[in-house]
Amino acid sequence: MSKSQIIEHKSQLIDYIASGSKPKSDWKVGTEHEKFGFHTDSLKPLGYAEKGGIRDILNGLKEQFNWRAEYEGENIIALYRDGCSVTLEPGGQLELSGAPLADIHATCRETNVHLKEVKAICDNYNSAFIGMGFHPTAKKKEIEFMPKGRYKIMREYMP
């Protein structure tokens, strides 16, 4: 089916979607785990460049646990290892995007390793991370936008 063809029947839509599917033997499962960093003494969000901030956490993971870093200019913005990545989200969240794995038991192991690594680095800075989709105590104005090019664009056009 080409882009110019009009779908007139439900069966055409089903066939089109099915044509892009993989056989069940190739199915994988992956993890998306997002978490906010905070100072354990004040519960305030972690900044990027402050001592023990997001930059230090990412650099610690890179140095101690053999992650490959991605930079924008001098700013570390992501880590890669073994088919998974740790990326920097707009409000300082770290997100593990896990490798495609065979089952949820493998994703559980991968996530547990990641969380142990993050904790090992955070223990050096009296910081921690909480796996939530929002920071539970901080107001928007207290959360620093991360130094990533596309987030500058977002900040200018989105509230």
DSSP string, 79-127: EEETTEEEEE-TTS-EEEEPPPBSSHHHHHHHHHHHHHHHHHHHTTTTE
Q: Which residue has the higher pLDDT, 111 or 137?
A: 111
3-state SS, 1-42, equals CCCCCCCCCHHHHHHHHHHCCCCHHHCCECCEEEEEEEECCC
What pTM does this model have? 0.78
Q: What is the pLDDT of residue 154?
A: 59
- Structural domains in the chain, CATH included, are 25-157 (3.30.70.1130)
pLDDT digits (tens, 9 = 90+) for 50-69: 999 999 999 999 999 999 99
CA distance 56 to 68: 15
Q: What is the pLDDT of residue 58?
A: 97
151 φ/ψ angles, rounded to the nearest 5 degrees: -75, -25
